[in-house]
Structure 1
Amino acid sequence: MAVIHRATLRPNKLELLAAWLPGRPWFAGPAGEPARVAAYRFDDPAGAVGIETLLVRAGDGPVHQVPLTYRDAPLAGAEDWLVGTCEHSVLGARWVYDGTGDPVYAEALAAAVLGGTGQAEEFTQVDDRLERRAPSMAIASTAAGHQAVPAIGAVTRVAGDDPVVIVTDTVELTVARRPGAAMSGVVLTGTWPGQDTPVPLACATVRR
């Protein structure tokens, strides 16, 4: 379950991405603040890290998939994946990372692809109650039933631009920066308004 606070972020997510995306070799589109297309979230079982994947588009460029993790302290050794920092009016200072370098994202993605756990239910905090928020897109796994997902541990290597490959001791994950290209293995697909045909978002294989 993801609880969304009615809060102010300074700078906000799209402002952070406007500064960060142009420096990525896989980014295609004009400079400036991108537009949000859709998003989906995963749960961190420990409840410590926010995990959100944004689909964004700059101008008339392609849709880009940007996994983000939100932390209340810096992630040791992850300086290369830092998107930026912001101030959350409820939670305080937040460190925002490209999720492909965060082991908590790798664990959640593996569970969604291999275990079919799906996306987190989203709730908005309204005074002293929670109100369910409808998802802006749908995701699904091609996994045959709910498979056992091996413990992920540390991310040992991150390689490539688009797609990007996340290697752990037990699982290899592939994430499309620009969704749509064919993928092998067990695949996570997505649909969103204007994209009714499922397209590959990520895939996973268990390392032997």
Structure 2
Amino acid sequence: MALLHKATITPTKLELLASWLPTRPWYDGPESPELTRVAAARFDDPDGEVGIETLLVRAGDGPVWQVPLTYRGAPLDGADEHLAGTLEHSVLGMRWVYDATADPVYVTEVTRVIREAGHEAPEEVEDGDERISREPDLKLTGSGAEAPPAGQITGHRDGDPTVVVAGDVELVVSRVPLVAVDPADAGVLTGCWPGQETPVALVHLRVR
């Protein structure tokens, strides 16, 4: 379960991404984009320390961009080039926001979800003493795959797709998810959201 907090976030995620996306080699949208949120879903860090979110955004009438992010309470060693920025969270304090494709917690979890035919995490929003269940508007589905767990990240090629080498597996992350997937395909994370009811490939898992 992903536990979220009713909070004020400064800057907002979309404001942060509007500054960061134009610095990415795979982004070819406006230099000063006005982003809108399309859909989002969470994975669950088993240790409960790192927030893991797959966020879909759009600039104007442009394509949908997949931007997986992780939220940390302290900097991730050796990941400065993958830092999207920092946010001030009114409940949790300062949060360091990373391109999740370079974060071992995301890489481990998305690999597990694909291998085990898993889904996005259930969400609960904590508001004072009350917890309210919330339905994610992005539906994530792992196909199942005969593959080992992710190992240490030893390679990262930023582009569309972004390719991550983690031990004996390789993740191929589509930044602009367009490819419809046969439900029988193995080794893939698919996503559906309002307006996109046919599953499209978000991440492919390959054995090296």
Whether these two folds match at TM > 0.5 is yes
Over the aligned positions, Cα root-mean-square deviation in angstroms equals 1.7
- Give secondary structure in 1 for the equivalent of 2:20: helix
How much has 1:159 moved relative to structure 2?
A: 1.3
Aligned to 1:156: 154
Counterparts of 2:141 and 2:102, CA distance in 1: 23
Deviations, residues 118-140 of structure 1 (Å, cap 9, x unaligned): 11110011221211001112122
**What is the DSSP-based 3-state SS (H/G/I as helix, E as strand, rest coil) of the residue aligned with 1:61?**
coil
Q: Which contiguous aligned blocks of 4+ residues in structure 1 show a shift greater than 6 angstroms?
A: none
Point out the more displaced range, 90-99 or 24-33. Answer: 24-33
Give the whole-Å Cα distance in 1 for the aligned partners of 2:65 and 2:166: 24
- Counterpart in 2 of 1:27? 27
Q: Which residue of 1 aligns with 2:52?
A: 51
Local SS of the residue matching 1:16 = helix
Q: Distance in 1 between matches of 2:33 and 2:56?
A: 16
Structure 1 residue 112: deviation in Å? 1.3
1:127 corresponding residue in structure 2: 128
Task: Specify the alignment match of 2:2 in structure 1.
Answer: 2
Q: Is the 8 A contact 2:7 2:91 kept in 1?
A: yes
Structure 2: gaps of 5 or more residues: none
Residue-by-residue CA offset, 1:147-206 (whole Å, 9 max, x unaligned): 6x6342321111140011110112111110000137885111111111111111111023
> Do the aligned residues in 1 keep the contact of 2:51 with 2:71 (CA within 8 Å)?
yes
Aligned pairs for 1:97-112 (under 5 A) are 97-112=98-113
**Cα distance in structure 2, aligned partners of 1:63 and 1:197:** 15
Indicate conservation of the 8 Å contact 2:144/2:186, yes or no: no
2:44 counterpart letter in structure 1: D
> 1:180 is matched with which residue?
178
Aligned to 1:48, what secondary structure does the other structure show?
coil
Residue 89 of structure 1: aligned partner: 90
Q: How far apart, in 1, do the equivalents of 2:139 and 2:71 lie?
A: 22
Whether the 8 Å contact between 1:34 and 1:57 is mirrored in structure 2 is yes
Decide whether the 8 Å contact of 1:29 with 1:60 is kept in 2.
no
Report the equivalent of 1:165: 163
TM-score (ref. length: structure 1): 0.92
Please give the TM-score of this superposition, normalised by the length of structure 2. 0.92
Q: C-alpha separation between the residues in 2 aligned to 1:180 and 1:141? A: 17
Question: Cα offset for 1:117?
Answer: 2.2
- Counterpart contact for 1:17–1:33, Cα < 8 Å: no
SS of the counterpart of 2:81? Answer: helix
